[in-house]
Amino acid sequence: MGVTSDRVEYVCRYGGNGTTTSGVNVSIAAEVTMEIHSVCLPPKESTFQKLKHRLSEIFFPDDPLYRFKDQTWCKKLVLGLQFLFPILQWGSHYDLNLFKSDVVSGLTIASLAIPQGISYAQLANLPPIIGLYSSFVPPLMYSLLGSSRHLAVGPVSIASLVMGTMLSEKVSPVQHPTLYLKLAFTATFFAGLFQASLGFLRLGLVIDFLSKATLVGFMAGAAIIVSLQQLKGFLGIVHFTTKMQLIPVLTSVFHHTKEWSWETIVMGFSFLLLLLTTRHISMKKPKLFWISAAAPLTSVILSTLLVFLIKSKVHGISIIGHLQKGLNPTSTNMLYFNGQYLALAIKTGIVTGILSLTEGIAVGRTFASLKNYQVDGNKEMMAIGLMNMASSCTSCYVTTGSFSRSAVNYNAGAQTAVSNIVLAGTVLVTLLFLMPLFYYTPNVILAAIIITAVIGLIDYKAAYKLWKVDKLDFLACICSFFGVLFISVPLGLGIAVGVSVVKILLHVTRPNTLVLGNIPATQIYQSLNRYKEASRVPSFLILAIESPIYFANSTYLQERLLRWVQEEEERIKANHESTLKCIIIDMTSVTAIDTSGIDMVCELKKMLEKRSLVLVLVNPVGSVMEKMHRSNFLGTNSLFLTVGEAVADISASWKPQP
């Protein structure tokens, strides 16, 4: 039956005892008409049309231009401005009730963002004031450009840790503070440029290489490293290692026991217990979210008052000291675009940009799904990227959507991005008037706040689920975890990504193949290994390939299919069954094929013909069908629409004609 042949009807006669003349069990004894359908080619398209369709599927799966169709130029201009600035879209419907909700949520996340901003800046080895600067300009920018209603923007622990680790390996923040600050701002600029470029070019698939398994291990390892690094402030140690690996950190802790301060330890553990208790209460009773949200700022206020009152009696507690009042100064003159450390700034920017982008988009989509609205991933990349580029010019470092602050924002009843504006306004008041109040804030409180924030990143339940569901994913998770702990943060992430890529290559180069059998009394063919009731069809070997056929796996597939044939012939010989005559390959799951794959199929057909075996293909998809047709592979009785039709038609040709 060729591709263009007319439909053929085949009458399959069954014996009265419920079996076919060829021995296949059936549950009915009747005359059944089997209609053999032709396999059609896809509609004809030019090369340009195919390329256009393929590129649109790759880069525009969401069709961002659909809203502009059949619109006037004036309407298109308005829609374009609304696309670039979502605030113009929902701003016209904004009312007092929404504003009340946003004010409450904005003030709530500000109580969390202010102490976290100061803490995370120190985690990045930056002056504490930079953390507050980064909690002012970025939220304002995101409120104009972002599409998420609940994303609370500011510094985050993982990006802060990675930036601090990568930059401090080459430049000391203590010995060269100005150069270090320049590199931090420059890395932020390149992070934003990279993020915005991904969004503009619609290359979000790049961050897809950071699988959930990779991130689970990476974040758990980073959380432990971050927590151990806080032992410096928690124990009052003055001389502490700048390295981030587990062993150097623990070695430094126990080599400087003489520097431990009992006052600092008592205060640290007391407030850490308070913070962990409030976090536990809020997790058990989500309606009491405000308890854990207010706890960091409350701890800062109480500890500051305590240190102020006992400052004359206790000298072993380290404090923040003077913080400069005023708005963000411009930092355009501090961007570092030439010199020996430019490559370091670019590398740091790309790594922190990927991590912060992944976290921001994941958090935004999480809360969008809870409220049944959509967040455009590519648009979010552009928004976060432009936000970071602008931030690098206003004395800010890498920021993104924080999960902890976004969760508080959501639970506090945020309705729109105005909550970020309220957050920025609160930070503005703090920068202008309240900075002297932080003078006596103890560093140990900042350490306790960081530990409380990052401890939630250790998701052991997710790791256990990975172990149960997919061992390769679990391997990526473990490699990421131990890589961060014992090698370094960026290399640990690189190892995990490498394991994920290897997993992809394994799936591509070693695809799954299986033997199909017939489910009795049906025209359904399924895996013999999976469905125990499925039975083999005498004289047929029915195989299925569950992947595209590319140059990378064509040799493997040829060898594996020949091995299936050999094993089937040996099984038939051992059981004295009907001679093998036909090989059917179900290509339903073969979504693509290249020239190497076509050559493999042609060569396989020739090899089987030399062994007096017939090869037929079933249900190739449109693109595969077209390529095989152009290669002149197709011939009479080479293609069928279903396995059942192939078995029926080929069986009929073997029967003696009257």
Give the number of other Cβ atoms within 10 Å of residue 520's Cβ.
13
291-345 per-position pLDDT tens digit: 888 888 899 999 999 998 887 676 778 888 888 889 999 999 999 998 899 999 9
* Report for 170-174, 335-339, 391-395, 466-470: range of highest mean pLDDT: 391-395
Sheet holding 639-640, edge to edge: 525-527, 513-518, 540-545, 582-586, 614-618, 639-640
pLDDT at 332: 94
Model confidence band, residue 59 (pLDDT cutoffs 50, 70, 90): low
Cβ–Cβ under 8 Å, residues 578 and 572:
yes
- For residues 467 and 289, which has the higher predicted lDDT (pLDDT)? 467
- Residue 580 CB neighbours (<10 A): 20
> Which pLDDT does position 368 carry in this prediction?
85
How far is residue 2 from each of residues 36, 71, 146, measured CA to CA in Å? 12, 47, 55
Residue 23 has pLDDT above 60, yes or no: no
Share of the chain above pLDDT 70, in %: 90
Give me the pLDDT at residue 365, please.
82
pLDDT of 507 over the 60 cut: yes
For the segment 552-575, the average pLDDT, to the nearest whole number, is 94
Rounded distance, CA 377 to CA 62, Å?
Answer: 10
**Domains in the chain: boundaries:** 94-503, 511-654
pLDDT at 37 over 80: no
Q: Output 237 or 150, whichever has higher pLDDT.
A: 150
pLDDT higher at 60 or 250: 250
SS3 (DSSP) at 291:
helix
Confidence of residue 9 (pLDDT cuts 50, 70, 90): very low
Q: Measured between alpha carbons, how far is 85 from 417 in angstroms, rounded to an integer?
A: 12
pLDDT the model gives residue 653: 82
**pLDDT at position 376, please?**
79
Indicate if the pLDDT at residue 534 is higher than 80.
Answer: yes
In angstroms, rounded to a whole number, what is the distance separating the alpha carbons of residues 405 and 105?
10
pLDDT in tens, 613-624: 999 999 998 888
Instruction: State the average pLDDT over residues 603-609.
Output: 92
Phi/psi of residue 301, each to 5°? -65, -50
Does 397 have pLDDT greater than 90? yes
Q: What is the mean pLDDT of the chain?
A: 85
Q: At what angle do helices 262-284 and 443-454 cross, to 10 degrees?
A: 30
Distance CA 475, CA 478 (A): 5
3-state helix, strand, coil in the chain (%, to 5): 60, 10, 30
The stretch 481-485 carries a mean pLDDT of 89
**Residue 248: predicted pLDDT:** 85
Give pLDDT, residue 555. Answer: 93
Residue 335 has a pLDDT of 94
Per-residue pLDDT at 388: 96
pLDDT for the residue numbered 5: 37
Q: Which residue has the higher pLDDT, 346 or 69?
A: 346
Mean pLDDT is lowest, of 60-69, 99-108, 177-186, 561-570, for 60-69
Phi, psi of 594 (to 5 degrees): -115, -175
Report the relative pairing of strands 400-401 and 31-36 from DSSP bridges.
Answer: unpaired
Calculate mean pLDDT across residues 582-588: 94
Query: For 625-652, what is the mean pLDDT?
Result: 83
Give residues with Cβ within 8 angstroms of 250, minimum separation 6.
228
pLDDT the model gives residue 2: 43
Q: How far is CA 133 from CA 102, 403, 432, 554, in A?
A: 21, 20, 11, 56
Measured at the CA of 21, the angle between CA 16 and CA 25, to 5 degrees, comes to 70
Distance between CA atoms of 143 and 417, rounded to whole angstroms?
5
Of the CATH numbers 3.40.190.10, 3.30.750.24, 3.90.230.10, 3.40.50.720, which one belongs to the domain with range 511-654?
Answer: 3.30.750.24
pLDDT at 16: 38
What is the pLDDT, as a whole number, of residue 656? 59
Average pLDDT over residues 94-99: 88
DSSP 579: P
Give residue 225's pLDDT: 86
**pLDDT grade, residue 10 (50/70/90)?**
very low
Q: What integer pLDDT is reported at residue 496 of this predicted model?
A: 77
Which pLDDT value is given to residue 47?
75
Query: Is pLDDT larger for residue 76 or for residue 354?
Result: 354
> What is the reported pLDDT for 28?
36
- Rounded average pLDDT over 4-11: 36
